Each structure stands twice: as structure tokens, then as C-alpha cells.
Chains A and B, each alone.
Chain A
Amino acid sequence: SAVISQKPSRDICQRGTSLTIQCQVDSQVTMMFWYRQQPGQSLTLIATANQGSEATYESGFVIDKFPISRPNLTFSTLTVSNMSPEDSSIYLCSVAGRLSGNTIYFGEGSWLTVV
């Protein structure tokens, strides 16, 4: 398995501000995936981040709103920009296991509330 640490665990943010979520993995991984889980909903893929290249965004998500960095094989950040109450969600970082590439593991999630 992979151990994934996410920061912050929880935050309350002011409307119009931006917040950066950090994701640290205990082993080198090729792909990192960022998901959003709105209240009472399922998980929706925001983007896939490959080290050394631009992230690939899913329909409905844009780089200006959710810029992602992937500076190395163990770390990534997701920024939620110019936040509105609709951005209140859990944001989850996930990776495929290094030795077991068929399973995806998740961080603890970052619970953002925008007021």
C-alpha cells in the first residue's frame, strides 16, 4: 500500500480567497489523482497529475480554478482559487500503489468550508 498525507485536514475559508492543499506520498508514484467530493455526493475526478508535465483536467474543471503542481514523484499540490461556497467540499489526493499498481489509495482528505 501507499501512505498518503494531506494538509490541511480541515479549513474554513473566506469567499474570494485561495487555498493550497498538499499531498505527500511515502514512495515514488507516476500518477497522482485529485478528486472532489461535494457534501453527500460521490467522488468526482478533478485532474490527473504526472510528474514533469501539465496536469490533465476533466470536463468541468479548469486550470485557472484548480491549478496543480507536481514537482517530483512524491508530492503534489492542488489550489482552489477564488473560492465560493460552491467549492465547499472534501478534496482527496490518491495514488496507485507502487508495488500493486492496480489499486488506488487515498489520503485522509481535506475538508474545506467556504463562508
Chain B
Amino acid sequence: AQTVTQSQPEMSVQEAETVTLSCTYDTSESDYYLFWYKQPPSRQMILVIRQEAYKQQNATENRFSVNFQKAAKSFSLKISDSQLGDAAMYFCAYRRRVGNSGNTPLVFGKGTRLSVIA
């Protein structure tokens, strides 16, 4: 079974600074997706960034980027120029790929609570 580990229960960052959230995973599959989701106090799960395992290039979305190390099974999230609105729970998630179907669920890590200090 696949597992996702987030070893940092809580992190804090000064506004405008950079922070990196860690994630490791375990799988025997070679083709899969990795995600970071953000959950603010509103409870809504918001997709932050997505990485396909077959792509060597690290995904970026504005201030958010990942460091994907497939051999090490590591998938960290870097948030640059942190803003107060970035404060939330961040979940790393894994999804096995089966063709292009949407038929496999997400497996989540335990989450990292990020605080942003003004």
C-alpha cells in the first residue's frame, strides 16, 4: 500500500520569506501523481500544485514550486514571498495513475500546519 509522510506537524514563516514543507512517499508504482492541497479554516480543499511522476521538470505555480526527487521518493513544496493568506493546513497527496482515468483515490499525509507571521 502507498503511504505519504509529512514529518513537520507545524511550520512558521515570516511574511515575505520562503518556507519549504517536506513530504516523502512510499510506492512500488512507477507512474503516479503527486499533489499539494491547502486547507484554510474554511475547510475547503484547494489544489496548490500537481506533479506527474513521469515528468522530470519540477512543477511551478506562481509563488509555489516543488522539488520532486523520484529516486528518493521526496516531494517538497516551496512557498516564496509568503503571504498572510498562505496560512493553512497543507496536505501532500499521492495518486496512482491508471491510464487517463479518474478512477483512483488520493492517499494523504497527516498535514503540516503553516503559520505566517506578520
Instruction: Spell out A's residues near B (CB within 8 Å).
Output: 29-31, 33, 41-45, 48, 50, 90, 92, 94-97, 101-106, 108-109, 111
Contact = CB atoms under 8 A, between A and B. Distances in A.
Contacts of A109: 43-45
A12 B42 CA distance: 18
A108 B44 contact: yes
A30 B109 contact: no
Contacts of A44: 108
11 contacts: A42-B110, A42-B111, A43-B45, A43-B106, A43-B108, A45-B107, A101-B100, A102-B33, A102-B50, A102-B100, A103-B50
B78 interface: no
Given A101-B100, A108-B43, A109-B44, A33 B95 contact: no
Nearest to B43: A109
B44 A45 contact: no
B102 interface: yes
A42 B102 contact: no
B47 interface: yes
B86 interface: no
Interface residues on B, range: 20 to 34
Interface of B: 33, 35, 37, 42-45, 47, 50, 52, 91, 95, 97, 100-103, 105-111
A105 B101 contact: no
A102 B111 CA distance: 21
A42 to B, nearest CB: 5
Contact of A103 (B35, B42, B91): B35
Contacts of B35: 103-104
